Amino acid sequence: MMTEQTRLVTYSRNVFIPVTNMCRNHCGYCGFRRDPDDPQAYIIHPDRVTEILQRGAGSGCTEALFTFGERPEEDDRYLERLKAIGYDRTLDYLLDLCRMAINAGLLPHCNPGVQSYEELALLKPFNASMGLMLETTARLQVHDNSPGKIPQKRIENIAHAGKLKIPFTTGLLVGIGETRADRVDSLRTIAGLHQQYGHIQEVIIQNFTPKPGTIMATHEPPSFEEMLWTVEQARDILPDDVAVQVPPNLISPGVLIKHGASDLGGISPETIDHINPEHTWPDVEELKQTTGKDTMLRERLPIYPKYILDGWFSVELRSLIHQLADGEGYRKTNEDLHRI
């Protein structure tokens, strides 16, 4: 039961599907990326995706999170792998994966890296929401060999999504060499994009975590105090209808919730966080213990309630969203689902 003192904190239940770990960028902190000739490089096979989707649907998940390296097709060795599973373009494969997710009863949320307006327009009908981390508006040394991390390109991508009315997720990566002033500038940039287009449903404040074998392997992660300061700035700068999200597998959310965080992102009962595999997901019962008695956890879909009620979804998704969402736009409870 909600009271005036109760804080509402949302989360979604998802499966995390890494389509490929090959990427054109060479970020100094990334432990996920692989070169095409690396024995650990892969493109996930459709049969494997089917198996993950089925497990997710069986576990009550509503979101299929598709993430991967940006524009890997710039390398011919990747294209050879892609053609081996029957595709000439990554975009075509991703569209088919989205259709598979919808057919399995899960709403797609794609993070495909920087895309053109035309590519986003093709993906829009098959995605409940999409995402691209801004990370920072600063030009940093860790992005020197990463053409997709030029801030203006990412800002332009977020604007394209706004013009297309795609419910969108973006965020900051804290502790990669940016200053506090850079973070304030990044948040103001995001706020300006939302004020213009009204499409940003959440902003992730994510703490950098060092990965073995990377340039930043020995770099200190941001302190909790630094994260707290950034969450406070986010809540102060961003419009009220934009949620501030913190990842509960990377940082304890309890105190951050008291200072402005209101969403915990996707939590998976079936898959690991492939970007941060050393950090396991907490389950919902754990979160109830760590978020405090004055917090009410409520499950949402990958598209936020506001955008469901405003009809920001395609005819391709209409039936599934109506099946999964309650009258307020949140995830139907088990009791609601049993009535269907």
Q: Does domain 7-339 have CATH number 1.20.120.1150?
A: no
Q: Which of 297, 289, 236 is nearest to 262 (CA)?
A: 297
Mean pLDDT by 10 residues, the chain (340 residues): 72 97 97 95 97 97 96 96 96 98 98 97 98 98 96 98 98 98 98 98 97 96 98 98 97 95 96 93 86 89 98 98 98 60
Task: Report domain extents, the chain.
Answer: 7-339
Does residue 296 sit in helix, strand or coil? strand
How far is Cα 204 from Cα 20, in angstroms, rounded to an integer? 23
With a CB cutoff of 8 Å and minimum separation 6, the contacts of 244 are 202, 203, 205, 231, 234, 235, 238, 260, 261, 262, 263
**39-280-211 Cα angle (round to 5):** 50
pTM listed for this prediction: 0.95
Cβ atoms 218, 211 nearer than 8 A: no
Question: How large is the angle between the packed helices 180-197 and 151-163, nearest 10 degrees?
Answer: 20
pLDDT above 70 covers a percentage of the chain that reads 96
Q: Which of 156, 233, 242 is nearest to 198 (CA)?
A: 242
Does residue 122 sit in helix, strand or coil? helix
How far is Cα 29 from Cα 149, in angstroms, rounded to an integer? 13
pLDDT at 15: 98
Cβ atoms 166, 127 nearer than 8 A: yes
pLDDT digit string, tens, across residues 253-298: 999 999 999 999 999 999 999 999 999 999 888 888 878 778 999 9
pLDDT at 338: 39
Q: Which two tokens stand for residue 103?
A: 């057919």
pLDDT at 335: 52
How far is Cα 300 from Cα 306, in angstroms, rounded to an integer? 11
Measured from the Cβ of residue 37, the count of other Cβ atoms closer than 10 Å reads 9
DSSP 242: S
pLDDT at 3: 47
pLDDT at 334: 62
Q: Give per-residue burial for 76-111: e unless 16+ CB within 10 Å, then b.
A: eebbebbeeeebeebbebbbebbebbbebbbbbbbb
How far the first Cα of the chain sits from its last, in Å, is: 24
Q: What is the DSSP string of 259-290?
A: TT--EEEEE-SS---SSSTTSPPPPHHHHHHH
pLDDT at 1: 42
How far is Cα 225 from Cα 206, in angstroms, rounded to an integer? 13
pLDDT at 293: 78
Q: What is the DSSP string of 153-202?
A: HHHHHHHHHHHTT--EEEEEEETSS--HHHHHHHHHHHHHHHHHH--EEE
